[in-house]
Amino acid sequence: MRNNYLFAGCLALAITALAGVRSMAPSAPAGADPWWKHAVIYEIYPRSFQDSNGDGIGDLNGITRRLDYLQELGVDAIWIAPIYPSPQVDFGYDISDYENIDPKYGTLADFDRLLAEATKRNIRVLMDAVMNHTSDKHPWFIESASSRTNPKADWYIWRNGKGPGKPPNNWLSTFGHSAWQYNPKRDQYYYHYFYIQQPDLNWRNFEVETAMINMLRFWLDKGVIGFRLDAVPTLFEDPTLQNEETLAGKNKFGDPNQETKLQENLPEVHGVIRRMRAMINTYPGDRVLVGETYLPNVTELDKWYGGAKHDELELPMDMQVGFEPKLDAHEFRQRINDAETKIHGNQPLFVFDNHDNPRTAFRYGDGVHNTAIDKMLAAILFTTRSTAMMYYGDEIEMPTTPPTSKDQVRDPIGITGWPKEKGRDGERTPMQWNASTSAGFSTNPRTWLPVAPDYKQVNVEIESKDPNSMLNWYKS
């Protein structure tokens, strides 16, 4: 049973957080009022939303089947995490063909049908654009790795080592250990900010930019409304390859803590973003670029809009609010106020949850008032001027269910970092639709990740009948 007294207390906290926020800055560009300023964007992790063929993995036809549900919920756009052919080392973020669909998820014809059915319901579709790296199985990388002289030799970041077994510098992968991998054919190292199987593209080679822009056009021509640009601050690295500064202590992978100033958020990236924006502006229908922009502060965030020029991303994600470490009204007010006053009247995009972080109750909950806290955070998300971005399952208060032993882990960082880093499986469990087999996610009792144990009480069917449920809170 929910505690309404405590809930009222938390709502008061939300109101306190909002009360200090100053009046709206003028919105830009003048006169324009595109759909995305009033939108709810719903992130779908496709492996976990709805399985249609009983293999225990979600797919495109499954998403199509659930579009009526999303329409009723009030969703204006869905962002689908990567569905392209991929060896699935990083569950789709390692792409081996940018212009096709992984057979696990369906076909291009299934995609076209999904897009057409979504359009009928006034739901727009955003693709996930992974621009920083490809899979090591992408034909571009296979060619690039084959010699020092092939036509794509310079499409990735190749460097000589400092001697036998010695990488070019101390740079670390954010997924653990050295960011350099030796390749005997070239007798050189390639750079990977993420997994070894995700080599970074060389964005200083204009052929790379051209190929990527053409890839975006392929999907825009099909009618997608835009993109969520994956890990986009990582496109460029400092060419001098100086070492990053080492800090005190060790990280979850046992590596020394280090700065990432030479590996992330270099100013050159803004030129690419401006060219991308100019390209999407040639398409009709208010296309949009959303950015996965984890940044140190609001001043850096403002740059991703193009500041007063408004010529870069329409919606770089504001990670300052939703990933604020403490549940503290003063801190929340400060961050919301920043978004109102320090981004040149651009449109904020708040986000509290995604497929890379434990869900809010896990991060902010105290185990007693979790539901009240989640309702309060939803109130902030949906009542501020910000565009709202939510993650599948938030609307039913799906739990975070991390693996309890190393042999259960599917996400490779959870294997490298166990037990300090358990990986991201906990926030990627199958959607809980009802109390039947596999929570109605699949007819298969064995799903790619186990269904969270609370699915008999926490599911769409039960919550739609309960006026006090999270689902009805989200709807209202």
Q: Return the number of the residue (59 or 427) whose C-beta is nearest ligand GLC.
A: 427
- The helix or strand, by DSSP H or E, that contains position 316, with its residue range, turns out to be strand 315-316
Q: Return the number of the residue (98 or 194) whose C-beta is nearest ligand GLC.
A: 194
Min dist. Cβ of residue 58 to Ca ion (A): 6
C-alpha 365/C-alpha 397 separation (Å) is: 12
Min dist. Cβ of residue 239 to Ca ion (A): 44
Question: By Cβ distance, which residue is nearest to Ca ion?
Answer: 59
Type of residue at 388: A
Find all residues with CB under 8 Å of 116, minimum gap 6, and list them. Answer: none
* Strand ranges in 319-402 using DSSP code E only, listed in sequence order: 349-351, 387-391
Does position 51 interact with Ca ion (CB under 5 A)? The reply is: yes
Task: Tell me the C-alpha to C-alpha distance, in Å, between residue 164 and each of 148, 173, 188.
Answer: 18, 20, 10
255 binds, among ligand GLC, Ca ion, none (CB under 5 to 8 A by kind): none
Contact 60, 105 (CB under 8 A): yes
Min dist. Cβ of residue 292 to ligand GLC (A): 6
Q: Return the number of the residue (59 or 90) whose C-beta is nearest ligand GLC.
A: 90
55 binds, among ligand GLC, Ca ion, none (CB under 5 to 8 A by kind): Ca ion
Footprint on this chain of ligand GLC (rule: CB under 6 A):
90, 93, 130, 194, 230-231, 292, 355-356
Rule CB under 5 A: choose which of 53, 260, 334, 443 binds Ca ion.
53
- The helix or strand, by DSSP H or E, that contains position 332, with its residue range, turns out to be helix 329-341
Structure token digits, residue 213:
């822009």
128 binds, among Ca ion, ligand GLC, none (CB under 5 to 8 A by kind): none
Rule CB under 5 A: choose which of 21, 40, 49, 59 binds Ca ion.
59
Min dist. Cβ of residue 145 to ligand GLC (A): 19
25 CB-side CA count, 13 A: 17
Q: Which entry of 90, 94, 200, 230 is annotated as an active-site residue?
A: 230
Q: Which entry of 59, 292, 318, 374 is annotated as an active-site residue?
A: 292
Min dist. Cβ of residue 300 to ligand GLC (A): 17
* Strand ranges in 193-312 using DSSP code E only, listed in sequence order: 226-230, 246-250, 256-258, 288-291
Q: Return the number of the residue (36 or 194) whose C-beta is nearest ligand GLC.
A: 194
Q: Return the number of the residue (51 or 76) whose C-beta is nearest Ca ion.
A: 51
Min dist. Cβ of residue 174 to ligand GLC (A): 8
Q: Return the number of the residue (104 or 363) whose C-beta is nearest Ca ion.
A: 104
Which residue stretch of 21-29, 51-59, 193-201, 463-471 sits at the interface with Ca ion (rule: CB under 5 A)? 51-59
Find all residues with CB under 8 Å of 325, minimum gap 6, and list them. Answer: none
Sign of CA dihedral 434, 7, 382, 127: negative
Which residue stretch of 43-51, 68-76, 83-91, 165-173 sits at the interface with Ca ion (rule: CB under 5 A)? 43-51
Sheet holding 158-159, edge to edge: 158-159, 188-191, 180-183
Min dist. Cβ of residue 427 to ligand GLC (A): 10
Does position 238 interact with Ca ion (CB under 5 A)? The reply is: no
124 binds, among ligand GLC, Ca ion, none (CB under 5 to 8 A by kind): none
- The helix or strand, by DSSP H or E, that contains position 214, with its residue range, turns out to be helix 206-222
59 binds, among ligand GLC, Ca ion, none (CB under 5 to 8 A by kind): Ca ion
* DSSP string covering 42-54: EEE-GGGT--SSS
Residue 312 falls in the annotated catalytic set: no
C-alpha 290/C-alpha 343 separation (Å) is: 15
Q: Return the number of the residue (90 or 237) whose C-beta is nearest ligand GLC.
A: 90
Residue 221 falls in the annotated catalytic set: no
Min dist. Cβ of residue 368 to ligand GLC (A): 31
448 binds, among ligand GLC, Ca ion, none (CB under 5 to 8 A by kind): none
Question: By Cβ distance, which residue is nearest to ligand GLC?
Answer: 93
C-alpha 180/C-alpha 167 separation (Å) is: 6
Q: Return the number of the residue (51 or 394) whose C-beta is nearest Ca ion.
A: 51
Q: Which residue has the tokens 């699935």?
A: 88
User: Any long-range contacts for 95-102 (C-beta under 8 Å, 24+ apart)?
Assistant: 95/130, 95/134, 95/135, 95/138, 96/134, 96/135, 96/137, 96/138, 96/139, 97/138, 98/215, 98/218, 99/215, 99/218, 101/60
| Active site residues per annotation | 230, 292
Judged by the rule CB under 5 A, the positions of this chain that interact with Ca ion are: 51, 53, 55, 57, 59
